[in-house]
Structure 1
Amino acid sequence: MGIPDKHKQEISLLHGFIALFLILVVSGFTSYALNLSWGWLRQALALVHLFAGYVIGAIFFFYSYKHFKRTVGFRRTGSIILGVILFLAICYLALTGVLISFTGVLKKQAWLLDSHIVCAILTLFLLVVHLIWHYITFPRNRRSSVPSGFITLSNKIIKPILVVVGVACAITITLLTGNYLIQNNYPNNTVDDYLYAYGDGPFLPSLTMTESGTFVQRRYIAESAQCIECHKGIGEQWMASTHRHAADDPTYVRNVNLLTESKGIAPTRYCEGCHAPVALLTGQLTPGGSHGGKLGTVANKEGISCMSCHGVSHLTSSEGVASFHFSPRESYLFANVDVWPLNFLHQQALKLVPQRHAKDLLSPLLQESQFCSSCHIQFMDKSMNNWGWVKMQDEFLAWSNSKFNSPKELRFSHPQNKQCQDCHMPMIKADDIAADGAGQVRSHYFVGANVMLAKHFGNETLFEMTKEFLQQDKIQLSIEPPEDEQAKQSALYLKAELRNQHKYPVAMYRGEHKKIKVLLTNQGVGHSFPGGTIDLNEAWIDFKVYDGQQRLVTSSGQLQTDGSLGADTVVYKEIAIDRHGKEVWRHDLFNMVGRSYVNVIPAGSTDVVEFDLIVPDWATSPLTISATLKFRKLNQKYLDWVNLKQSVDTNPIIDIARDSVSVKVLKAPASQ
């Protein structure tokens, strides 16, 4: 006896359900069972699994309705209970599958994928038990129809299985073939007749190297917009950051154009390895190409792109000047293709198989200070300055010698040794797919001291963060009260509470000459203060003394009418000089051969500055002595040369630390 006509629709649905279910099982478990790598085949299987899952979901729920409607009156309790449990298990399997397809396989939601896999195994087990139980408990008087029914069913299942398997194979082959053709026909940005101006290395004098020893396609180093499609929180931070603006920073644009005008485009490789790796690695820095300072270019828009850091496999040396080794990562299916549905398939493959992405792009090196040293160490050699080897900034060495690095003597150690990333990339809240269980990611604002850039690009959030960062008591300023030279020693016994006082009342006398000591302690900066481009930065002490009627007694460190600092100002900066002893004030480091002045405060050190104070006869009591450590990113001379409008909004001055003391003023003491 054949299958009744009234059940044919249900059986047809069952055919498709079983065929797709087998595809789901094969595509879902093959990569795990065979321990496949995270390559294109694994991604293709994941996409087939996703497609089959959505189709089988629609078939399953329609089939379940038909099946329950037909069997609801049967009095076989065990079979019905197993069927209901199986239905609920498949519902959970479908629900978790849909959630994973939207959210992706997230580390913070590892339970979702784990439960999906466990439920899949449970579903297979329940399905087998349900079928066996159904056969065992099937009424004997109706079993005569079962053999022919099963034969008919099995015959009709073979064809759908073959069709579905064929379609799945065709889809997989099409995906892999199409991806291969697209990726291997991606345009190359390299300029023809590339000029090897500094030897055989294509990137010299930058110390950058690549896996192939030559240029890379733009898709491997640029296209940060694709990263932001998933990493929206981190992307928003990076878009505002100094890394993102490393190439379109107006001070850099002015400076790199000066280098091009003076020596040609090839020498810009020295700068672009750190400021615009996209231009360097794609072979643009040669006659006929464009450096990162050119508006509208990809290198200018992206600056230090996502892959500029996440594409680094290791460092080539400890010398700095972009001494990193860039390794193109294995691309996901249809990467860098802005055509629907191929870009959709790329996103889904990335969400479903993120292991390769995480392994490739989250190198342990990214968590170490040594990684930052590749660009925050700098030197210039004869190939650039026609003079000789000159040491420049080295934040890594300054950090290495600080208390924040693991010291040889434990008594000098900081209670929590810190890497560069701990201060400049702290954990912050972000709505991002990479957020941890607490909803936090490593900050990609890269907050430092560049308040000017945040203001220039109108990012008030970053400006306030930078201002707060500078005012976190990393530099402590204190004024030592002047000693009272009229105080006399006594042999009288003093009570303990008096002896324990650290500061004693002092007074100054009209006409008296005093040295006021101001102490600046670098207690929280992981390197010397100031750091970075200290030939452009200015940190100084604003010193003032007022009498009781708020009349100015003396001052030092006030801005002149043209915005510059007075000659008597105590400034923390560097003055670079060229071979003729003239100041290299335009940051044209290719002319630098040495320094005539360097004043910085090493990490953990204190600088003691003395200011002269002569108390005038007209001064009334008390005297208020105040000192403020101020900072601005650009000195006035360079600011004017760059043609940025001078205002608080363009080049803000930040008060980093301050202190004040009040001292009584007395008449001159009687002559002894």
Structure 2
Amino acid sequence: MKLALSIRKLLAAIFLTAATAILLAPHTVRARATDDDTHAEARAAYNKKIAAIYNYKFGEQHPFYPSNATTDTGAFIDPKDFPTAAYCGHCHQAAHAQWRESAHSNSNRVPYYLRNVNLLAAEKGIAYTRHCEGCHDPISVVSGALTERSPRTRPYDQDGVTCMVCHSIQSGTTRGTGSYVMGIPAVMVDENGNPIHHAVSDAEILAHLDRHSAAVMKPFYKTSQFCSACHEAALPKMLNDYKWQRAISLYDEWQNSSFAKQSPLPFYHKPVVSTCQTCHMAREAIGSLSDYSAKSIDGGPKSIVSHRWLGANTSIPKIYHYPDQARLVTEFLQNQVFNVDIFGVEKEPKNFNTPAAELAENSVNGKLIAPLGTVPFSLDAGQRVVVSVVIQNKGIGHSHVPEQRDMYESWVDFTVKNTAGKTLYESGAIQPKDDELDPSAHSFTNRLINKQGSLNALHQVWDNRVVAYNNTVQSGRSQLVRYAFTMPRDGSPVSVTATVRYRRFDQHFMDFGMSVPIGQGHWQQPIVDMVSTTRIFKSGSNDPIPNPDPKSVNPEWMRWNNYGIGLLDAQQYAAAVSAFERVAAMHPDDFDPPTNIAVTYIAWEKYDDAVPYLNKSLALKKDNARALYYLALVQRNSGDVNEAIANLQKVAAAFPDSLDAHRELGFSYYQLHNYAQARTEYELVQSIAPDNLAAHYNLAIIYRRLHLKDQAAVEAAYFADEKDDPTASTYALEYLRKHHDIAQESVPWHVHDLDHHGADELNPMLPASDSGSVTGGSH
């Protein structure tokens, strides 16, 4: 027995020695620039070397502009100071494997990004690319590599946002565009808590896991504010030679959503807070891989927080052949993100040039048949109908589509088919001639217009002047999309299907990004059907459908509520009030429906009509913050500023991070000439949203009243740069004037008229249309 134990100990020792030798092998660990004793000197020497050749395009005080990134001392950091992702993969195999397939890992090597950023370099110079690379290739920015005489091929480019990029960030702000402070990377601290800058072996780390964790983990890494450093962004004047423009608002959108629980204003409530990490770093089983951070939760398989950061990038998995990432991204996009409701039908409106108010009245006077599936109705053969489809963004903590929306592509594909499966009508098809999306489709996007009044079709954000329209659907909100067509004249039934579809980019940009020569085909992108629903329309009687699937069909009260939200956002106030009254009748003890009615009246500028509903909401739930907020707005509008302040203080106490509450408190104090309190509130607004335009404007005035002239000048300059350009709308109007099929999407209330959308070719049972062009519908 003793001999057996001795042999086991000997074998274990041999194995440990061999393993340690492998871990310390020169080809697996990149040496640091220096050891601890000389690191400061080496950094100074490196900084001096880079400074001698560096293009300080935006001044020596701002070496990393147009990115907001900086370093702990403002000096450059030697790229050799960043351990590679492969080094981290020694102990974190599963995390490394997930990261390699992520958008973070491929942020600076994927072809379409390189083509776009190289276009910027060619047009304006490499110094301007720091704006993009601050988030796509942070090491290149903080190392000073983005200057004219620097090497164009760098080994770290292939790794994009590496492990030690994120885990070396010391602090950050919510201003975005790379608003982080990068420190010198360290994978361990010493016994006194000081970072160790020389090479550290895996064995040392495993022997001091607490000191490893102290070096690479910070509490704010688990917050949405951390992610906002890059997932909030703007286009500064130094980039576009024009003015500051907001580009990405993910953090702001999350903060205003029910997921954050920081605002009282969302239409729906979540039981717990969900951060960016909650959704995008959900735990994932490690399978056969090893990972020292893995653990078993409630007896399940070992798992880690996912380093795939699953989102909506369907192109990277195809380009680099990552089947697991492709499958998981698809599942992510199909996991209760949207609800699509074929909600109602209107029969035989007089014509489709009827004023919007008359069409909206159908929802009030009983002409709208809704919710479909719960009520009987009848249709005649050859009858014109309008179908209302409600798209609810219920599962995302921000807008859809998020981030840069000009070339992302998500839309509604609406089809009408006969019993043989033949398509009679379709809005939202991919056109076979060029693989482009039907231009009149309802898409969750915008159009970025340049000073020539044309589309920035290659994502030239540095040329932006205005957003022609924005159809993105915010978290917790709904959009109402309406389609008109004629039932078959032979009386046969039709199936009506509405599908939300997604592909990463529009085809024009993707072909450019993947360098497909013109006239030589197209780069085929994956298309994901995120959610789809179908209803059958018969000529004659249509009976209610019993036992709807609760996974795909919302409860009836929620269907009316989402319809009301869609009407409110489409500025159809009378119809929205009617829809919310339906909800109130179904749930007389719920305090939200009367608040929703009041919100609609306030948007309608019928403030007195809102008051009884707000009082009813507060009677059902005393001091509910949402009703108090809107009551304060009504009170202030009627001159009761002190009462408004008292109610807004209650809201701010319940929701201390509510930008809206602090902004309205600030303005209320300003009205009373209480400038000190107004200053406090607007400075709180800026701590939440540094680029809030109302805060810049009002603080410029308030500081002047408080004799703080220098601070007033700073805020006035911010406001002048960030306020909308009143002349920019002419660029949008010029573009929309030339594109009638797209122009209708800029109008909140319109109908996609499918009888004048290819009806000649698709439905021979109809009379020939008077227009062979794709009109996309009437307003």
Q: Where do 5+ consecutive residues of structure 2 fail to align?
A: 21-33, 191-197, 350-369, 542-779
Equivalent positions of 1:246-325 (< 5 A) are 246-290=107-151, 296-315=153-172, 317-325=173-181
Q: Which of 652, 661, 666 is residue 526 of structure 2 equivalent to?
A: 652
Contact 2:346 2:387 survives alignment (8 Å): no
Aligned-partner Cα distance in 2 for 1:407–1:364 = 19
Which whole-Å deviations, capped at 9, do the CAs of 1:421-441 have from their partners, x for residues lacking one?
A: 011111112220111344221
Which whole-Å deviations, capped at 9, do the CAs of 1:557-592 have from their partners, x for residues lacking one?
A: 111121112232111111111223221121111111
Q: Which of 215, 227, 235 is residue 380 of structure 1 equivalent to?
A: 235
Equivalent positions of 1:308-387 (< 5 A) are 308-315=165-172, 317-330=173-186, 346-387=201-242
Q: Using the TM superposition, give the Cα deviation of residue 500 of structure 1 relative to its aligned residue in structure 2, in angstroms.
A: 12
Question: Do structure 1's residue 226 and structure 2's residue 63 form an aligned pair?
Answer: no
Aligned-partner Cα distance in 2 for 1:626–1:599 = 21
Q: Using the TM superposition, give the Cα deviation of residue 217 of structure 1 relative to its aligned residue in structure 2, in angstroms.
A: 1.5
Equivalent positions of 1:246-645 (< 5 A) are 246-290=107-151, 296-315=153-172, 317-330=173-186, 346-409=201-264, 412-430=268-286, 431-438=290-297, 439-482=302-345, 503-560=374-431, 561-618=433-490, 620-643=491-514
Report the secondary structure of 2:317's partner residue: helix
Aligned-partner Cα distance in 2 for 1:351–1:440 = 19
Q: Using the TM superposition, give the Cα deviation of residue 93 of structure 1 relative to its aligned residue in structure 2, in angstroms.
A: 12
Question: Do structure 1's residue 214 and structure 2's residue 78 form an aligned pair?
Answer: no
Which whole-Å deviations, capped at 9, do the CAs of 1:519-567 have from their partners, x for residues lacking one?
A: 1000001100111221111111111112234343221111112111223
What letter is aligned with 1:550? G
TM (norm. structure 2) is: 0.57
Aligned-partner Cα distance in 1 for 2:55–2:489 = 73
Report the secondary structure of 2:90's partner residue: helix
Contact 2:188 2:205 survives alignment (8 Å): yes
Report the secondary structure of 1:515's partner residue: strand
What letter is aligned with 1:507? S
Q: How many residues align?
A: 484
TM (norm. structure 1) is: 0.66
Aligned-partner Cα distance in 2 for 1:600–1:331 = 41
Aligned-partner Cα distance in 2 for 1:428–1:444 = 9
Q: Using the TM superposition, give the Cα deviation of residue 625 of structure 1 relative to its aligned residue in structure 2, in angstroms.
A: 0.7
CA 419–289 in structure 1, closer or farther in 2 if over 3 Å, else same: same
Q: Using the TM superposition, give the Cα deviation of residue 252 of structure 1 relative to its aligned residue in structure 2, in angstroms.
A: 0.6
Identity of aligned residues (%): 27
Aligned-partner Cα distance in 2 for 1:500–1:544 = 20
What letter is aligned with 2:270? H
Q: Using the TM superposition, give the Cα deviation of residue 227 of structure 1 relative to its aligned residue in structure 2, in angstroms.
A: 1.1
Structure 2 residue aligned with 1:143: none
Aligned-partner Cα distance in 1 for 2:382–2:186 = 77
Aligned-partner Cα distance in 2 for 1:228–1:333 = 20
Q: Using the TM superposition, give the Cα deviation of residue 351 of structure 1 relative to its aligned residue in structure 2, in angstroms.
A: 1.6
Which whole-Å deviations, capped at 9, do the CAs of 1:205-260 have from their partners, x for residues lacking one?
A: 11112112111121333522211122111111111111000000111100111011
CA 484–662 in structure 1, closer or farther in 2 if over 3 Å, else same: same
Q: Using the TM superposition, give the Cα deviation of residue 310 of structure 1 relative to its aligned residue in structure 2, in angstroms.
A: 0.5
What letter is aligned with 2:134? G
Report the secondary structure of 1:440's partner residue: strand
Q: Using the TM superposition, give the Cα deviation of residue 636 of structure 1 relative to its aligned residue in structure 2, in angstroms.
A: 1.1
Contact 1:579 1:593 survives alignment (8 Å): yes
Structure 1 residue aligned with 2:706: none
What letter is aligned with 2:311? G
What letter is aligned with 1:363? K
Q: Using the TM superposition, give the Cα deviation of residue 483 of structure 1 relative to its aligned residue in structure 2, in angstroms.
A: 5.2
CA 388–178 in structure 1, closer or farther in 2 if over 3 Å, else same: closer
Q: Where do 5+ consecutive residues of structure 1 fail to align?
A: 1-60, 66-87, 105-176, 335-341, 487-498, 668-672
Which whole-Å deviations, capped at 9, do the CAs of 1:269-291 have from their partners, x for residues lacking one?
A: 1111100011111110111124x
Q: Using the TM superposition, give the Cα deviation of residue 454 of structure 1 relative to its aligned residue in structure 2, in angstroms.
A: 1.1
Return structure 1 stretches of 4+ with deviation > 6 angstroms. 90-104, 181-187, 499-502, 646-649
Q: Using the TM superposition, give the Cα deviation of residue 647 of structure 1 relative to its aligned residue in structure 2, in angstroms.
A: 8.7
Report the secondary structure of 2:308's partner residue: coil
Contact 1:644 1:650 survives alignment (8 Å): no
Which whole-Å deviations, capped at 9, do the CAs of 1:593-619 have from their partners, x for residues lacking one?
A: 22112111100011010001112323x
What letter is aligned with 1:366? Y
Structure 2 residue aligned with 1:197: 57
Contact 1:629 1:655 survives alignment (8 Å): yes
Report the secondary structure of 1:304's partner residue: coil
Equivalent positions of 1:237-248 (< 5 A) are 237-248=98-109
Report the secondary structure of 1:472's partner residue: coil
Q: Using the TM superposition, give the Cα deviation of residue 415 of structure 1 relative to its aligned residue in structure 2, in angstroms.
A: 1.4
CA-based RMSD of the aligned residues comes to 3.5
Contact 2:186 2:216 survives alignment (8 Å): no
Which whole-Å deviations, capped at 9, do the CAs of 1:104-128 have from their partners, x for residues lacking one?
A: 9xxxxxxxxxxxxxxxxxxxxxxxx
Aligned-partner Cα distance in 1 for 2:89–2:469 = 44
Structure 1 residue aligned with 2:25: none
Report the secondary structure of 1:593's partner residue: strand
Aligned-partner Cα distance in 2 for 1:201–1:500 = 58
Aligned-partner Cα distance in 2 for 1:516–1:262 = 47
What letter is aligned with 2:54? Y
Larger radius of gyration: 1
Contact 2:247 2:403 survives alignment (8 Å): no
Contact 1:481 1:661 survives alignment (8 Å): no
What letter is aligned with 1:654? V
